[in-house]
Amino acid sequence: MKTDYDVIIVGAGFAGMTAAVYCARAGKKSLLIECEGFGGQIAYSPKVENYPAYSDISGAELANNLYEQTEKFGVENRFERVMSIENSGEFKTVVTDEGKYTCKAVIIATGAKHKKLNVPGEDRLTGCGVSYCAVCDGVFYKNKTAAVVGGGSAALSEAIYLSQFCSNVYIIHRRDKFRGEDMLAKRASEIENISFVLDSEISEIIGKDKLTAVIVKNKLTGEPSEIKTDGLFIAVGFEPRNSQFADLVKLDEKGFIVASEDCKTSAEGVFCAGDCRTKSLRQLTTAAADGSVAAVAACEYCDKN
């Protein structure tokens, strides 16, 4: 059977776009499908300092450069939402909210979405003081107080970013040590208007029409306290966007696609790349590496079938 495409890549973050470039350069007719925004999470980062050959570049510029590269090599890009993938053995059918497309091989690179705290007031005040992206919404808190919850590099980076224009920034973390890069933790500790609230968890988000404060419970003493803040930025990790593929490929207990460094899934002809798969490190460099590995494997599969 002649298919519409050789390879379809689902998700246009750094992993997906890298895979698309590799597939197109290998002469494969490739389709890249995205439903939210080309570039993924990195597009919202004001500064990238740990990607090889770039000591200082914005995430948006880096993502845009890669998107233009996909177009240069003839990748077809569509802005649609993938609902499911049907595996007929010989070929795959990718079903979107706009139509159906057949291919020989699929690369899933759907990434992950922000985790929630799941505390009272979070959903109600999202967009009214509660945010998941300091780069997107931080400008609204100039000369105001902001709080960031989380202990990873993302949380530390957001706090450092906010400190440039907020009067005060709190970093609330449930442990006494940060999981993020030591360099970022050290930098945050040296900024005068950043305060650490450690061994603490947010139990409630307060406000009627807009956020006014958060209730924080100390894990060691059990004592609650109130921190008045105009903005709360939640950076407690991500969860994979793989639920629609549960019947197609094997997922682990957290919902990540089970795949090792070869990026092969449990389904023949279906590969994965980036934050959506099981892995120990989720960085821009590992996303790019996954994209290239998955693409080469997908191209080899197409050549054999």
What does the H/E/C string look like for the chain? CCCCEEEEEECCCHHHHHHHHHHHHCCCCEEEEECCCCCHHHHHCCCECCECCECCECHHHHHHHHHHHHHHCCCEEEECCEEEEEECCCCEEEEECCCEEEEEEEEECCCEEECCCCCCCHHHHECCCEECCHHHHHHHHCCCEEEEECCCHHHHHHHHHHCCCCCEEEEECCCCCCCCCHHHHHHHHCCCCEEEECCEEEEEEECCCCCCEEEEEECCCCCEEEEECCEEEECCCEEECCHHHCCCCCECCCCCECCCCCCECCCCCEEECHHHECCCCCCHHHHHHHHHHHHHHHHHHHHHC
Q: What is the pLDDT of residues 154-199, one digit of tens each?
A: 899 999 999 999 999 999 999 999 999 999 999 999 999 999 999 9
Would the CATH topology of 5-113+238-304 be identical to that of 122-234?
yes
CATH fold of 122-234, please? FAD/NAD(P)-binding domain (3.50.50)
Q: Is the pLDDT of residue 296 over 80?
A: yes
Among 272, 172, 282, CA closest to 216:
172
Which residue is catalytic, options 4, 35, 137, 199?
Answer: 137
Q: Where are the chain's structural domains? A: 5-113+238-304, 122-234
Supply the pLDDT for residue 238.
82
Query: Could you confirm whether 133 is annotated as catalytic?
Result: yes
Higher pLDDT pick, 113 / 158: 158
Mean pLDDT of the region 238-254:
93
Q: What is the pLDDT of residues 3-58, one digit of tens each?
A: 999 999 999 999 999 999 999 999 999 999 999 889 987 887 777 888 899 888 98
Query: Could you confirm whether 97 is annotated as catalytic?
Result: no
Supply the pLDDT for residue 301.
96
Supply the pLDDT for residue 273.
97
Supply the pLDDT for residue 167.
97
Which residue is catalytic, options 136, 247, 262, 303?
Answer: 136
Query: Alpha-carbon torsion 119, 122, 123, 125, what sign?
Result: positive
Supply the CATH classification number for the domain 5-113+238-304. 3.50.50.60
Which residue is catalytic, options 4, 128, 133, 199?
Answer: 133
Residue 234 — pLDDT band, cuts 50, 70, 90? very high
Contact of 27 with 296, CB cutoff 8 Å:
no
Query: Could you confirm whether 137 is annotated as catalytic?
Result: yes
